[in-house]
Amino acid sequence: MSLFKKVKNTISLLKSVDMDQLAKINKKIDLADAMKTLGELDDRQLAGLMKMLKTKRRKGQHDLPPIDGDFYNLDLKLTEEQREIQMKVRNFMEDEIRPLVNEYWKKDQFPFEIIEKFREIDIVGVPYEGYGCPNLPFLMEGIVAQELARVDVSVSTFFGVHSGLAMGSIYLCGSEEQKQEWLPKMQKLEKIGAFGLTEPNVGSGVAGGLETTCKFDGENWILNGQKKWIGNATFADVTIIWARDLDSNRVKGFLVKKENPGFKTEKIKDKMALRIVQNAIITLKDCKVSESDRLQNANSFKDTANVLRMTRAGVAWQAVGCSRGAYESALKYTKKREQFGRPIASFQLIQDHLVEMLSNLTSMQTLCFRLSEMQDQGMLTDEHASLAKVYCSMRMRDIVSRAREVMGGNGILLEYDVARFVADAEAIYSYEGTKEINSLIVGRAITGYSAFVS
């Protein structure tokens, strides 16, 4: 711009400014600092700020508190670095994921474009040491799971399967060579992982009833059987397959690549929950896997259980995230929705629902926070993780139900998000151990008696 134009524009700007008003504002805030801050805002942020400033307050209206599901300020227990990571994930989910999830949820498709975006925030393999992983406390894995599920449970599940179950199996049960081969690539999302344990006929009884078999023929392992509900499996580069050895009757784990002979996936359609997650039925028919692709430190179901114990806390945190997303969406709606001439948030019955939701959410948050602290201290047991899964999944169901309740008919519309949370909550309620199975794990710990069917 020429000097003449700059001078002309400046004169025009000065004519349009009320200097007395500017002087009053300058007494209240540092105008130079304000101008610097405004100059750093992007177009979207500026538009939002102007919209807020232009909104006229109605007669009798007062400043409303912010919408925040962290009522006990647990975020203050995080370090500055941890808080930065939390906000990085939250902003990513709000800016990149929220605008597209409902559309992909309707289409029953996975938004592959988000994989490249996930690489940029570098949060894969949160608690693992080495191999390019962040090596952060398990608490941060929980916080990340919460932030992902707060916007969309499907995206959180994709991440949990890849970063938790698949990478966790290799991290805990793989040889050093296998870790070096897979974990750096999976951390960068150059390779995507899946986890194949559940079967068409075997869910809760998987510890002693695996129907998928493996047998060593002298050159390769031959796998036969089926797996069901395997998230990411339709497009994963590698799937961790757990099978029962026909010779030793012990459970072994395998790194099965999508190009392995005898490995076939079929997408499960018509789901009412987690529609973005690409679940599959896997068929293994004389599937050949080399000895080098057998997880070298997976020699019994106890090793499988170690992986599940490590990731079950993350599922409890997912329930927290799902609940928080539903609560915050419902609270936002009740502040805007008017009936009988005033916002429905001012009604006693609505406030009762909201307080019940917040009470449950806060108790879930504090329980999971302590659970992750115990995990970081090496104190986590099966029963600790199972109690969190039981309690959080039950309270989650109540929260999403109340969120749908306070929104009336609009609660079943995708555009308000709560309908998606209601549906996806049903998946969290079932996976990584049903309420009943996890209850029996806790029951065995506190009574000393096992109520499992022998």
Per residue in 11-50, pLDDT tens? 665 566 666 676 676 666 776 777 777 777 777 777 766 7
What are the E-state strand segments in 208-258? 213-216, 220-231, 238-245, 251-257
Q: Distance between CA atoms of 28 and 381, rounded to whole angstroms?
A: 56
Q: Distance between CA atoms of 421 and 397, rounded to whole angstroms?
A: 10
Q: Distance between CA atoms of 321 and 146, rounded to whole angstroms?
A: 4
Amino acid at 292: S
| Residue 452 in this model has a pLDDT that exceeds 80 | no
| Residue 279 in this model has a pLDDT that exceeds 80 | yes
- Residue pair 308/441 in contact by the 8 Å Cβ criterion: no
The residue-averaged pLDDT of 266-271 equals: 95
- Choice among 10-19, 78-87, 90-99, 260-269 with the minimum mean pLDDT: 10-19
Amino acid at 381: T
**Which runs of consecutive H residues, i.e. helices, occur in 108-137?**
113-121
Integer angstrom CA distances of residue 263 from 186, 258, 344, 403: 21, 7, 55, 42
**What are the structure tokens assigned to 178, written together?**
């296998």
Q: Distance between CA atoms of 337 and 400, rounded to whole angstroms?
A: 18
pTM for the whole thing? 0.84
Give the model confidence (pLDDT) of 396-443 as tens digits.
Answer: 999 999 999 999 999 999 999 999 999 999 999 988 888 888 999 999
What's the pLDDT score for residue 181?
A: 97
What's the pLDDT score for residue 60?
A: 46
Look-up: residue for tokens 């400043």?
Answer: 63
Q: Distance between CA atoms of 141 and 136, rounded to whole angstroms?
A: 8
Three-class DSSP category at 370:
helix
Between 59 and 170, whose confidence is greater?
Answer: 170
